[in-house]
Chains A and B, each alone.
Chain A
Amino acid sequence: MIDPIKKVCVIGSGTMGAGIAAQVANAGIPVLLLDIVPRDGSDRDAIAKGAVAKMLKTDPAPFMSKRAAKLVETGNIDDHLGRVAECDWVVEAIVERLDIKQSLYAKLEAVKKPGTAVSSNTSTIPLANLVEGRSDQFKRDFLITHFFNPPRYMRLLEIVTGPDTDADLARRVEDFSDRALGKRVVHAKDTPGFIANRIGTYWLAVAVNAAMDQGLTVEQADQIGGSPMGVPKTGIFGLIDLVGVDLMPLLSASLSATLPQGDPYFETVRDMPLVEKMIAEGFTGRKGKGGFYRLDKSGGQKVKQSLDLATGEYRAEQKPEKLPGKAEKDLAALVTVPGKVGDYAWTILGHVLSYAAKLVGEAADDIVAIDDAMTLGYNWKFGPFELIDRLGPGKLAERLAAEGRPVPALLKSAGTNPFYRIENGQRQYLSADGSYRDVKRAEGVVLLEDIKRASQPLIKTGSAALWDVGDGVAAIEFTGKMNALDEEVIKLINQAIPLVKASFKALIVYNEGSNFSAGANLGLAMFAVNIAAWSEIEKLIAGGQAAFKALKYAPFPVVSAPAGLALGGGCEICLNSDAIQAHAETYMGLVECGVGLIPGWGGNGEMLDRAAKARMMPKGPMPPLSKVFQTISTATVAKSAAEAQELLFLRETDGITMNRDRLLSDAKAKALSLVDGYAPPEPPTFRLAGESGRVGINSAVRDFQKKGMATAYDGVVSDRLAEVLTGGEADIVDTVTEDQLLRLERKAFLASVKDPRTQARVEAMLTTGKPLRN
């Protein structure tokens, strides 16, 4: 059993330090954030305090909840460094200057307890230099933990240990970073830039230079170097704009100063007068006046412009032609497109992939570490070795050789063998010695991806599948586009219930898409509307209500485990479960009102029940009603699982998992914990506010309309929602059953879906992706 970390100190409250402190607080762990004493002003803690205040206004938010922000205590290095004695881990995230870091460590050494881990968030300075002159004890306690920006959202953590680092201490930090901070830890060697930034910086340098040399526009470069290679849609120049154009020379200088002689980076790096001019004139990217792209507002309108790489002047955006044939999807086809497209793609891939291959053994132990670093640290869809497999390892080596360029040893030894293969359902990677080894997950991690590779679904429909995920637990996976819910999902739920009852102990609802589910399939619904198939729509709503109810009252525990978006029906399936085990980055909401609908699959009753039972809810029929009405009528989406708990989507007994990789195992554990003595829940009954409450709510909505905060049709939809939430015809002394509430919900849903104003909203959402405010 690893001794858990109970308190953390972060020194340095810049973007990284403050962001790391916020993530520690997000995990519910108290954190002390220290910075230097400001030169002027009376408040000696002003710098760290200012960093926290700034984070509370930052979007995307570094904090998952306001509660988390209260766990950050601020101070200054001069007065409070002694308090590191209270902490189990000290993270240093101060300025990248060796002398300053070393002098801080000297001070730290005097006050910290032996065995308290100290780690640096340096991105460039070798560990060996950092610990120079320190005691043996300090060296045992020291390591590098390299976070990525922003620390809440980027899942990569590179850990570098030195020859003297205590293995148990490093494991303690790694375990905390994994379970509490939610990071996937990649072990890097003590080499400049570690893994992700070394390859990433090289990649950007190659891609920028080649775009200039080969006469491409920034749009063409981002088209070719973007999605076909699995790179986020910002591409190359868009990414530089995002991180800051001024960061390029800094990264380049620091790598140039530390990389070993003969590194291929030196062949690429060169002075960039255009970039220097941009920085000098304040065109530092999105944070500045613009970068390679900008929005020109000078003419009163927003006009998208791009920088002409040859002249250095802005011009109107030029949409490039579509890539020919299979080039968008097939890397081998992409690099052989004649002319600029193929040349540019090959220049990037040929250089970057062989550079990555060269770094196995030097910067990382194996290809898995490198692929993880690039997918998690730069959000690439595929790591370099997965890209090589897509391109063909033989073809890559062949072309490099044909061009008289060095072929890295690892690539040579691979021959035409892929870097990854599936053997008996197990994913394996090619190791440096030429043998295949299992790709191992961190201890306790279970992924559906791995289970699916090794087994067949128990049941499968057009939009969902049921899997045996081990230990007597079955899992429903959504498989449709955007994991949308439709009658095929409902069909699967209905088939799954008897099967789980017969052969399993518990059921979970889980998938590994980037979003749990964005809700019901609106496109299908609109199709039914267009042919006026009202009875079909009613059947879909009633069918969904019945299926979710069947899940709720099934004779076994049901746990939903959302991550990413869980909207509309995707939220309602969670609400109808016995428990929710949510990933910390879950964005949950009942957003139906936004498209002129109201929740139709039991969401209203579930929310009323949660609100009525919430702690601290004032007495009387109105407070729970007001809370629920406010959340649903404004289509509020929680920006984290912690916020979902504040909005009452999650109960206090529901769980939150910080590490996405551990969500399935935590959900299983949650479900299994409910098995002993399980009894389905008693159906809730409601005492609702009736007509009087409805009048109160309606008049509040009218006030919002007067203030211009709600549209005319918002008022109509709100009235329909209020009708359900106040119990329709029921009087305040009546008891409303769950079934009565479901009937009201269906009626209001159908009234909405038949309304042309709702149809216009749905249509707009489907075609533009933006809400229509009619």
Chain B
Amino acid sequence: MTDVVIAGYARSPFHLATKGALARVRPDDLAAQVIRGLLEKTKVDPAEIEDIILGCAFPEGEQGLNVARLIGLLADLPLSVGGMTVNRFCGSSMSAIHIAVGQIAIGAGEAFICAGLESMSRVPMGGYNPMPSPELMKKSPGAYMGMGETAENVAQKYQITRVEQEALAVKSQQKAAAARASGKLTEEIIPIQTKGGTVSEDGTIRGETTAEALAGLKPAFSQDGTVTAGTSSPLTDGASAVLVTSADFAAKHGLTVLAKIKSVGVSGCAPETMGLGPIEASRKALARAGISAADLDVVEINEAFASQAIACIRDLGLKDETINIDGGAIAIGHPLGATGARIVGKAASLLSREGGRYALATQCIGGGQGIATVLERA
């Protein structure tokens, strides 16, 4: 198989939906700025790009139509660069990367921009016109279940206490705050021009959060539940992008390679406990890479909810010190379609920054799926 590499990663700052600094920024504009930033950073010749593959969980309204193509035009990319929008809910932009890997493998191009975006301010979760199938609703009500409820189900199934969830949330916030304070997030963030000025830092991180403060919150999804706003990832606006190329292309054009893509995996699971999706998906990817969890030096596991992250960490036997080194989605935010590219890009950057050989990026997906990517240091 042709070796495929991550040759660049960038993202916008992440901000709370509705009240954050990006609420008034159109999502297509946001992604266009990130892609321009990635091109400038990697110095790749835009004319060499085959396609923009962009993930979005609710591709309608301002992020509707074939928004990937429109973003290419907005970002002044050469007309020859294609554009495709893909949807696998939260796994959308990780799927975008996987598609690029396949395209490169069959010789259908050498350089791809794999991006993701979501404005949860401007397009509601569930979209404007949620119209479930009455038949499926009867047959498999979990298919349409709210994400918070699935997180409660996982907490119950795995007997994960509220205190454990809050401990993970506090740690995530502290790690993210420390990373920001030491400038470790600056490298990946593309400052965004808005009508209200330039936005160059995340607006989601709450480093001052304490276990006591979290303990005071009301359950967010079920009266007698354990999941709160503090142990859930916030509704977030953001965009992300990685440059995916063949190893040869990267070498020929003198690109800085962050990591090699070793293997990928996708696996379905019960919709009612969709948060467990990463377990089987990661197992598949690890098996395909011929390694075990013990071999991982860096893990980016999306914290959609603390409960599901804990369950996956537990089942997969992940090492604590490898997990979400610069903080996870509870602190940084989870703009649905943008998260996959963020965590793959982040895992690749961490491998190159922290050293080590293997990294795993994995996330759960609404409706009952998981997706995973194993990276190897270049």
Contact, CB under 8 Å: A692 / B134:
yes
- The tally of residues in B whose CB lies under 8 Å from a CB in A reads 18
Chain A residues in 8 Å Cβ range of B220: 707
- Are B131 and A693 in contact, CB atoms less than 8 angstroms apart? yes
- A695 & B137 in contact (Cβ 8 Å cutoff): yes
Complex contact B144–A691 (CB within 8 A): no
Contacts A618-B61, A692-B133, A692-B134 given; does A703 touch B128 at CB 8 Å: no
A689: Cβ under 8 A from any B Cβ: yes
Contacting A at CB under 8 A, from B119-169, are 128-134, 137, 141, 144, 146, 149
Residues of A within 8 A of B141 (CB): 699
Q: Are A692 and B131 in contact (CB under 8 A)?
A: yes
B223 at the interface (CB under 8 A from A): yes
**Chain B residue nearest in CB terms to A732:** B131
Q: Taking the complex as formed, is B221 at the interface, i.e. its CB lies under 8 A from any CB of chain A?
A: yes
Chain A CB within 8 A of B322 CB: no
Is residue B80 within 8 Å, beta carbon to beta carbon, of the partner chain? no
Contact indicator A620/B128 (Cβ below 8 Å): yes
Contacts of B256 in A (CB 8 A): none
- Chain B residues, Cβ within 8 Å of A699: 132, 137, 141, 144
Question: What residues of chain A lie closer than 8 Å to B221, measured between beta carbons?
Answer: 703, 706-707
CA of A420 to CA of B244, assembled, Å = 91
Instruction: Say how far A704's CB is from chain B's closest CB, in angstroms.
Output: 11
In Å, the complex CA distance between A418 and B128 comes to 66
- Asked if A339 lies at the interface with its beta carbon under 8 angstroms from chain B, I say no
Chain A interface mostly? helix
Interface string of B51-63 (1 = CB under 8 A from A): 0000000000100
B131 touches A622 (CB 8 A): yes
**Is the CB–CB distance between B223 and A695 below 8 Å?**
no
Question: What does the 1/0 interface line of A685-723 toward B look like (CB < 8 Å)?
Answer: 000010111111001000100111000000000000000
Asked whether any CB of chain B lies closer than 8 Å to the CB of A621, the reply is: yes
| Contact in complex: B149, A622 (CB < 8 Å) | no
- B2 located at the interface, meaning its Cβ lies under 8 Å from any Cβ of chain A in the complex: no
Q: Given B129, B137, B146, which contacts A703 in the complex, CB threshold below 8 Å?
A: B146
Query: Please, how many angstroms separate the alpha-carbon atoms of A689 and B61 in the complex?
Result: 19
Cβ A707 vs Cβ B223 within 8 A = yes
Q: Does A615 contact B (CB under 8 A)?
A: no
Alpha-carbon separation in the docked complex, A211 to B136 (Å): 73
A619 proximal to B (CB < 8 A):
yes
**Chain B contacts of A618 at CB under 8 A?**
61, 128-129
Closest to B222 in A: A706
Please pick, from A620, A621, A696, A707, the residue contacting B132 in the complex, using a CB distance under 8 A: A696
In angstroms, Cα B132 to Cα A694, docked, is 9
Looking at chain A, what size class is its interface with the partner chain? 10 to 19
A689–B141 Cα gap in the complex (Å)? Answer: 20
Chain B neighbourhood of A703, CB < 8 A = 146, 149, 221
For the complex, give the distance between the alpha carbons of A652 and B205 in Å: 41
Q: Which chain B residues numbered 148 to 200 have a C-beta less than 8 Å away from chain A?
A: 149
Instruction: Report B270-314 CB contacts with A as 1/0, cut-off 8 Å.
Output: 000000000000000000000000000000000000000000000
Per-residue CB contact flags for chain A residues 662-685 toward chain B (1 = under 8 Å, else 0) read: 000000000000000000000000
**Which residues of A sit under 8 angstroms from B137, Cβ to Cβ?**
695, 699
Instruction: Report chain B residues within 8 Å CB of A707.
Output: 219-223
A623 to B130, CA, bound (A): 9
Q: Please tell me if the beta carbons of A706 and B149 are within 8 angstroms of each other in the complex.
A: yes
Minimal Cβ-Cβ distance residue in A for B61: A618
Q: How far is the CA of A689 from the CA of B131 in the complex (A)?
A: 8
B149-A692 in contact (CB<8A): no
CB pair B61 A695 closer than 8 Å: no
Inter-chain CA distance A458–B240, complex, in Å, is 72
- With A703-B146, A706-B222: A621-B134 Cβ-Cβ less than 8 Å: no
In the bound complex, CA of A19 to CA of B129 (Å): 41
Nearest CB in chain A to that of B132: its residue: A695
Name the residue on B nearest A705 (C-beta).
B223
Nearest-Cβ distance from residue B122 to partner chain A, whole angstroms: 11
| CB pair B129 A691 closer than 8 Å | no
**CB of B140, distance to nearest CB on chain A (Å):** 12
Question: In the assembly, what is the distance between CA of A703 and CA of B219, in Å?
Answer: 13
Name which residue of chain A comes closest to B123, CB basis: A618
Q: Which of A691, A695, A699, A708 has the largest number of chain B CB atoms within 10 A?
A: A695
Which residues of A from 93 to 151 have beta carbons under 8 Å from B? none
CB-defined contacts of B131 to chain A, threshold 8 Å: 621-622, 689, 692-693, 695-696, 732
- A630 to B: closest C-beta gap in Å: 13
Collect the chain A residues with CB atoms within 8 Å of residue B149's CB: 703, 706
Most buried by A among B131, B146, B223: B131
> Chain B contacts of A620 at CB under 8 A?
128-129
Select one of B61, B134, B219, B222 contacting A691, CB under 8 A: B134
Tell me, in angstroms, the Cα distance from A677 to B128 when the chains sit together: 39
Residues on A with beta carbons closer than 8 Å to the beta carbon of B134: 691-692, 694-695
Nearest-CB distance from B311 to chain A (Å)? 21
The complex places the Cα of A319 from the Cα of B137 at a distance, in Å, of 58
A619 to B60, CA, bound (A): 10
A623 CB contact (under 8 Å) in B129, B132, B146, B219 = B129
Shortest distance between the CB of B50 and any CB in chain A (Å): 33
A452 to B133: give the CA distance in the assembly, Å: 59
What's the Cα separation between A623 and B60 when bound, in Å? 13
Chain B residues near A708 (CB, 8 Å)?
Answer: 223
Whether the pair B130, A696 counts as a contact (CB closer than 8 A) is yes
Residues 603-628 of A, flagged 1 when their CB comes within 8 A of B and 0 if not, give: 00000000000000011111100000
B186 to A: closest C-beta gap in Å: 27
Q: Which residues of A contact B129 (CB under 8 A)?
A: 618-623
CA distance A184 to B220 in the complex (A): 49
- Would you call A622 and B128 a contact (CB within 8 A)? yes
In the complex, what distance in Å separates the CA atom of A530 from the CA atom of B128? Answer: 44
Q: A692-B133, A699-B144, A703-B149 are in contact. Are A619 and B128 (CB under 8 A)?
A: yes
3 A-B pairs closest in CB distance: A620-B129, A708-B223, A692-B131
Beyond the given A620-B129, A692-B134, A695-B137, could you list 12 further A-B residue pairs with CB under 8 A, ordered by the A residue number?
A: A619-B129, A622-B129, A623-B129, A691-B134, A692-B131, A692-B132, A692-B133, A696-B144, A699-B137, A703-B149, A707-B219, A707-B221
Residues in chain B within 8 A of chain A (CB atoms): 61, 128-134, 137, 141, 144, 146, 149, 219-223
20 contacts between A and B (CB under 8 A): A618-B129, A620-B129, A621-B131, A623-B128, A692-B131, A692-B132, A692-B133, A693-B131, A695-B132, A695-B134, A696-B132, A696-B144, A699-B137, A699-B141, A703-B221, A706-B222, A706-B223, A707-B220, A707-B221, A732-B131
